[in-house]
A = this chain, B = another copy of it.
Amino acid sequence: MKNKYAERARLVKPSETREILKVTERPEVISFAGGLPAPELFPVDALKIACNAVLNKEGAASLQYSTTEGYIPLREAISQRMKSIGINTTVENILITSGSQQAIDLTGRLFINEGDIIICESPTYLAAINAFKSYNAKFVEVAMDDDGMVMEELEKKLQEYPNTKFIYTIPDFQNPTGRTLKLERRKRMIELANQYDVLIIEDNPYGAVRFAGDALPPVKHFDTEGRVIYMSTFSKIFTPGLRLGWICADDSFIDKYVAFKQIADLHTDSFAQRITAKYMELYDIEEHINKIKAVYKERCTVMLSCIEEFFPKHLSYSKPEGGLFIWIELPDSVDSGQLFAECLENNVAFVPGAPFFPNGTKKNALRLNYSNMPKDKIIEGMKRIGEVLHRKLEKERKFPV
């Protein structure tokens, strides 16, 4: 049989990081690798009540085909959440997606022509990189500092690349860095998008999980021309297994997304949508999110203090006020891929930073997840990474390369 694959199949490989995650699933491994929420916080009992309520009262409807746009009460609840964070919206502006990964993928499908430029933070979310690359996009990376994407750099790139299709940004507790775009930069990003006529894809899965500092309005709050497409998910505030995300955008965009979602999967799981809506009707999801915040705050604080205590001095790392990740930049000489292999021998794991750079530049960074491990395992795991790192750096001092 001769090769049958489409040319785009060359652009898509199984994610290395998902392969890494498989290795780290061994029970003896303390893993800071995945972006997994704490499963012990999933509201299992409440969900049981929601399941029974849905099946008792709307059993058949919850198991039947439904509309592509999504279950209206769920879209209404999301619309309320959007309003509460400063996005003026109605149910017509909300499309339910099969996780926010589908929102990302449909965005590529709807907007990207071969060779289109996407401007993104450097580094950025690797599953977005993989999705957009499958549509043959080119990435232009913009430097970040502790306050997120640097606007002077963004403007330079917008001047340099007039065929930019959109800016892809994760403004709150970014994956992988944990950094947050500061207020003035949000306003400036909108000004620049208007001036250079580009869209902004605001990917905001973590914004609701802020455990320190003051909440900032989303970039879309400042949108004056309907050019921000906002997307988020229930994965970090409820459960990821149900695969429920959403897109919030102008009606005209939503109509187009709906057409593509129809061919992608007809609609998102009706039952998952209904039990989530029922949960939000019966319980206060904000209370649940507060529990998540309290736990993540503690885990983040412990992990940060472990860096101080166990890691070599003078490393640069983020100090997130929310979300799931800490980003560490090691001395230039350290390849975090090699470090990963050595750490795994010591039964501790993280994600090496390289795949988060779409143009593959930086090898000396790594991402640590703190949401998925209890305090004692964080301490033990960080000790182990610290030891490996110390050994590695000492060796280098003895045998300079």
Tell me the A residues contacting B by CB distance below 8 Å.
1-2, 4-9, 12-15, 18, 22, 34, 36-37, 39-40, 42, 44-45, 47-48, 51-52, 55-56, 59-68, 98-99, 101-102, 105, 109-113, 116, 127, 130-131, 134-135, 165-166, 197, 199, 225-227, 235, 239-243, 255-256, 258-260, 262-272
Contacts and interface: CB of A to CB of B under 8 A. Distances in A.
A268 B47 CA distance: 19
Most buried by B among A1, A2, A4, A5: A4
A192 to B, nearest CB: 14
Given A9-B259, A42-B60, 8 more contacts: A13-B259, A47-B59, A51-B52, A98-B98, A101-B264, A101-B265, A243-B268, A272-B272
Contacts of A52: 48, 51-52
Contact of A267 (B227, B243, B263): B243
Contacts of A226: 1
A109 B61 CA distance: 31
Contacts of A240: 63-65
Nearest to A239: B63
A53 to B, nearest CB: 10
6 contacts: A9-B260, A14-B258, A18-B68, A22-B67, A130-B262, A264-B264
Most buried by B among A12, A61, A68: A12
Contact of A48 (B51, B135, B268): B51
B63 A42 contact: yes
B42 A241 contact: no
Given A52-B51, A61-B39, A109 B263 contact: no
